[in-house]
Structure 1
Amino acid sequence: MSDGITNQRGFRLLSLDDGGIKGLSSLYIIQEMMHRLRGQLAQETTGMQPHEIPLPKPCDYFDFIAGVGTGAICAVMLGRLRMGINEAIQAYANLMTTVFSDPKLINRNRGAFKAHSLETELKKLVKNVEGDEDEMLFNSRELHCKVIVYAMSSHNLNDGLPTSFYSYPPRTGSTTECKIWEALRATTSYPEMFKGISVDINGTGVAHRFDHGGLGCSNPTRVLFEEASQLDVNRRVELIVSIGTGHPETIRIAGGQSSGSTMQRVLEASRRMAEGSEQVAEEMQRRFANGEPKYYRLNVQQGLQGVDAREWGRLDEVAANAGAYLRKSEVSLQLDALVARLHERPNLAIASGSTSAAAHRPRNDVQRDVPRPRRALTDKPESGRPDLAAIATVLGVRFISRLKRRANATAERR
């Protein structure tokens, strides 16, 4: 690795929980981070307004991005595919709407939704960016932002140790030799939702079976910290950002559900994921209470009651409640402190000048498919700054409403 500014600071980690459609709230939190970061950059640039500067990409400010389940889909979009956050939000909402609006009608014991539909959409996602749907996860060209996808192998379920899929050469020297979509299918293969998949991870001809997604590892922060700490003994971890997808108490099982119903099994799986995520979050909070490394946990706490993986029609509620969470004063202060640390020193690619900021403009960062917000929301409040969280929420809700109308029209034609 080149000697540069990246070697003069510690690793920055972004960890993304699993959460079904609620994973959209994670992306809105990241979007707010990037908007605030752009505001900081504008203050350094004479004569430029924030909207005149390309929205920063998470891959240029985090050294590791890791996730489980739908969190892994987000991690791959932002890290391995280097998507801008607006582009990732659109792609994620499209994927969730397409996959979860078409449940199985028969053989639901092997998953409530069609694994083939998920696989097809994941391939489209990769092809739209890389030009090849079978692009490999390992990428020797990009080492500044490393991506890890975690999934629970059927053989390691009792041990609670996830299998790691790497986009980079890990310290063990065992590289990942599978396709991007295969890694994402492995991490989303919950029996309540999608049937499992066998993946030859290391290209040895021996396939590993994945049937339990990230169950037992729905919050990958602990394992990510351990892996990052071991990669380079000369570099410490200086910053951890862990983003959740709701608290377990927000998951409700409605009355009248039979004990073996698909709906109840999906909700029970969601509850188990949320409970496991919060246990890890509390452990990390205690572990890093002294401030080294600096640890931030962001998690929409209210408003996601009863939202489960198959309710794609409630994506707009997820977006709206994420916006409400971001407007809380204590959350805003936490984001300001976090962004200040990110702003100090970006990754080597930008800091060294080898890649200009303009070169990192996301392909769809203008978001042609998303209507502009109402004029009232662009007015400056008392703080003198536009309410970015409110703007982002309106954009998201309108875009998702358009997706819902499209999906409903498709369903009526069937």
Structure 2
Amino acid sequence: DGGDIRCFSQLLILEELMHRLEYDHGRPVRPCEFFHSITGVGAAGAIAVFLGVLGMTVAEATEAFIGICEMVFAVDACDDKLRSERLVLAIKVVLDKLDIPYTTRLAGDIERSAGYRSICYSSAAIAGCRMFRNYKSKQASYNPTIVEAVRACWATPGLFASVIIGNGPQKEEIISAVHGFNNPTPQAVQEARELYGTDRAVSALLSLGSG
């Protein structure tokens, strides 16, 4: 779920779950190894990128998330444009630590984990929830850079500025999907059905809120 800085609580819950899994398996386990699919919206979309695309452990994702929040939500007053600029810089700091180029795209450019990851966003002009994906789908979707993906999924109106993606006549203004789709569980289930088929049973569905 979305929740901005409150999404830190999701990482704490996930940390406890992963600890139990590691105890059962007798070895370290990363979330990207255990969950076949990860879907996020808002700030949790950024966490989904850290865990699912960049292959971070929960501890690494927590450090990255806290670092971003400290840079972005500083005590000084700023508008959504300046806050957005700080977010881009903070994402680049995370990528620098991993030696990942800023131009790296969500799909096709990076292989640090296995599995399917989808990040929710909305069009500023058309209502609805849409997806960035790191995998092929019958649903067409733009393949953003990791920087663009995090900026777009976290582009909560009033908090961050909207994002322009695409080129030429396909340019589109993007905002976060938190207003209307703050819990993306239905979207995650639908993605799983399209990926694995309706006959496949779901063994575990974990929905992490931020309340």
TM-score for the superposition, normalised by structure 1: 0.47
2:115 pairs with 1:145: yes
Are the equivalent residues in 2 in contact too, given 1:150–1:163 (CA < 8 A)? yes
- 1:191 deviates by 2.1
Instruction: Give the equivalent residue in structure 1 for 2:91.
Output: 122
**Cα distance in structure 2, aligned partners of 1:155 and 1:237:** 34
- 1:235 deviates by 3.0
Q: Name the CA shift for 1:222/1:90 in 2 (closer, same or farther; >3 Å).
A: same
2:151 pairs with 1:185: yes
Unpaired runs of at least 5, structure 2: none
- 1:30 deviates by 0.8
Equivalent of residue 73 in structure 2, options 87, 100, 107: 100
Q: Name the CA shift for 1:31/1:97 in 2 (closer, same or farther; >3 Å).
A: same
Are the equivalent residues in 2 in contact too, given 1:66–1:149 (CA < 8 A)? yes
Instruction: Give the equivalent residue in structure 2 for 1:79.
Output: 52
- 1:97 deviates by 1.1
Are the equivalent residues in 1 in contact too, given 2:54–2:112 (CA < 8 A)? no
Are the equivalent residues in 1 in contact too, given 2:2–2:40 (CA < 8 A)? yes
Instruction: Give the equivalent residue in structure 1 for 2:135.
Output: 168
Instruction: Give the equivalent residue in structure 1 for 2:6.
Output: 22
2:125 pairs with 1:155: yes
Instruction: Give the equivalent residue in structure 2 for 1:275.
Output: none
Secondary structure in 2 matching 1:169: coil
Are the equivalent residues in 2 in contact too, given 1:152–1:213 (CA < 8 A)? yes
Larger radius of gyration: 1
Secondary structure in 1 matching 2:131: strand
Q: Deviations over 1:304-336 (max 9, x none)?
A: xxxxxxxxxxxxxxxxxxxxxxxxxxxxxxxxx
2:18 pairs with 1:34: yes
The range that moved more, 120-129 or 77-86, is 120-129
Are the equivalent residues in 2 in contact too, given 1:150–1:162 (CA < 8 A)? yes
**Cα distance in structure 1, aligned partners of 2:50 and 2:149:** 13
Are the equivalent residues in 2 in contact too, given 1:112–1:192 (CA < 8 A)? no
Q: Name the CA shift for 1:112/1:193 in 2 (closer, same or farther; >3 Å).
A: farther
Are the equivalent residues in 2 in contact too, given 1:69–1:214 (CA < 8 A)? yes
Secondary structure in 1 matching 2:144: coil
Are the equivalent residues in 2 in contact too, given 1:150–1:187 (CA < 8 A)? yes
Are the equivalent residues in 2 in contact too, given 1:69–1:187 (CA < 8 A)? yes
**Cα distance in structure 2, aligned partners of 1:228 and 1:70:** 22
The AA in structure 1 aligned to 2:151 is R
- Number of corresponding residues: 209
Are the equivalent residues in 2 in contact too, given 1:171–1:231 (CA < 8 A)? no
**Cα distance in structure 1, aligned partners of 2:194 and 2:68:** 35
Are the equivalent residues in 2 in contact too, given 1:185–1:197 (CA < 8 A)? yes
**Cα distance in structure 2, aligned partners of 1:216 and 1:23:** 17
TM-score for the superposition, normalised by structure 2: 0.90
**Cα distance in structure 2, aligned partners of 1:165 and 1:204:** 19
**Cα distance in structure 1, aligned partners of 2:170 and 2:76:** 32
Secondary structure in 2 matching 1:243: coil
Unpaired runs of at least 5, structure 1: 1-16, 43-52, 247-414
For 1:8-407, list aligned pairs within 5 A.
Answer: 17-42=1-26, 53=27, 55-105=28-78, 108=79, 111=80, 114-139=83-108, 141=111, 144-157=114-127, 161-172=128-139, 174=140, 176-200=142-166, 206-233=170-197, 235-246=200-211
1 or 2 for the larger relative contact order (CA 8 Å, sep ≥6)? Answer: 2
Q: Name the CA shift for 1:181/1:71 in 2 (closer, same or farther; >3 Å).
A: same
Q: Deviations over 1:136-190 (max 9, x none)?
A: 0013757832111101111222xxx212000111133x35321011111111112
Secondary structure in 1 matching 2:47: helix
